[in-house]
Amino acid sequence: MDASQRERYSRQILFPPVGERGQERLCAAHAVIAGCGALGSFHAASLARAGVGRLTIIDRDYVEPSNLHRQFLFEEADAEAALPKAAAAARHIARINSSIEVRAAVADLTPSNVEDLLGNASIVLDGTDNFEARYLINDFAVSRGIPWVYGAAVAAYGLTMPVIPGRTACLRCVYPEPPSGAQPTCETAGVMGAIVSAVASLQVADTLRILVEGEVHARITTLDVWGGIVRQVEGPARDADCPCCARREFPHLEEKARPPVSLCGRNAVQVRGSGALDLPALAARLEPLAAVRVNEFALRAQLSGYDITVFADGRAIIKGTDDPGIARSLYARYIG
């Protein structure tokens, strides 16, 4: 660590549990942020300011005006340009701390790319919005012995839990199966910016302690910022028959475990394509049919009354329906 870094992080270094040795560990660490929405954008900014030397930011979505009240890293210009969240985040992080390395992955985290995206991580932070992605993270993290920090927030309620493979309960010890029945989402129940920052701050604090000390209190923390309630309970003991961390079964790492279409929870459907696309060529094909906006990351057009955003990796988010059949049909009609 050079003199400029010592000055930059001097107030953090003065905190005895961190110190200069801890700051050096942070500067050498690689944190992966899975999902760069409300939680993940806060993770990215906080870890960049703390001096975590390498960040990988993964997100499949783009910035919209409705994100701006709670996704603290983004600006109106990002929404106006419909920039992919990972790319927009990387640009802002470069202005926050130009001394760290940032990788933006405009992608859906899947079994086929999880090794590339998470394989060299020191720690993974959960900024996702669905259990499918969390079970994938959990399977990979446990299989590789990589710590990760689970978090969720909706309305004014949130929770967080650190997972250190081999030492704490994993996600499937706590949730052997995903919650049943209809679950509240930000689209149906709304969300307060305050709960997002509170949960994300706790996740970042756990992350820094794990990176500095290699340990953390294995607690489940729940918060209700509207009711002013904070509860902490000791994390459960590891399940001796957990299919993941005890029996070492990792079905979510198998590609067949992933459905071809994933609902995004906001009257939109994601359709996974079969491979990379030439976006300028697709734009030329669609321009006779509709006004098309295209950049290096994505193409956007209004087609048949639906807002369709196509990414270079072949995915499309089709807004205006929650019917996978309609989404598949539109994808086949306009993208092929």
pLDDT digits (tens, 9 = 90+) for 275-312: 888 999 999 989 999 899 998 889 999 998 999 999 99
Q: How far apart are CA 36 and CA 47, in angstroms?
A: 13
Q: CATH 3.40.50.720 occupies which residues in the chain? A: 3-256
- The answer to whether 320 touches 307, Cβ cutoff 8 Å, is yes
Percentage of residues of the chain with pLDDT beyond 90: 75
Query: Comparing 20-24, 64-68, 193-197, 266-270, which segment has the lowest mean pLDDT?
Result: 266-270
> Structurally, what CATH architecture does the domain formed by 3-256 represent?
3-Layer(aba) Sandwich (3.40)
Strongest mean pLDDT among 187-196, 215-224, 249-258, 277-286: 215-224
What's phi and psi for 152, nearest 5 deg? -155, 150
Predicted local confidence at residue 36, as pLDDT: 97
Over residues 151-165, mean pLDDT: 97
What would the mean pLDDT of 184-190 be, rounded to a whole number? Answer: 77
Q: For position 59, what pLDDT does the model report?
A: 94
Contact of 104 with 90, CB cutoff 8 Å:
yes
| 223 CA to centre of own chain | 20
| pLDDT (0 to 100) of residue 324 | 81
Residue 256 predicted with pLDDT over 80: no
Q: Cα 117 to chain center, whole Å?
A: 12
* Cβ-Cβ contacts under 8 Å for 265 (sequence gap 6 or more): 129, 130, 185, 186, 187
Q: Where in the chain is the domain with CATH 3.30.310?
A: 259-334
Q: Per-residue b/e over 216-242, b at no fewer than 16 CB within 10 Å?
A: bebbbbbbebeeeeeeeeebeebbeeb
Task: List 140's β-bridge partners, or say none.
Answer: none
Q: What is the mean pLDDT of residues 147-162?
A: 97
Which pair of structure tokens corresponds to residue 26? 């942070």
**Weakest mean pLDDT among 87-96, 162-171, 284-293:** 284-293
Query: How sure is the predictor about 133, in pLDDT bands with cuts at 50, 70 and 90?
Result: very high
Q: What rounded mean pLDDT belongs to the chain? A: 92
**Helix, coil or strand: residue 302:** strand
Is 52 in contact with 25 (CB distance < 8 Å)? no
Place of tokens 């906001």: 266
Residue 234 · residue 218 · CB < 8 Å: yes
What does the pLDDT look like over 30-45, one tens digit per residue? 999 999 999 999 999 9
Does 259-334 carry CATH code 3.90.1690? no
Residue 248, CA distances (Å) to 37, 78, 86, 135 in order:
31, 42, 32, 13
Is this prediction's pTM over 0.85? yes
Active centre residues (catalytic): 186
- Token readout for 216 is 């953390």
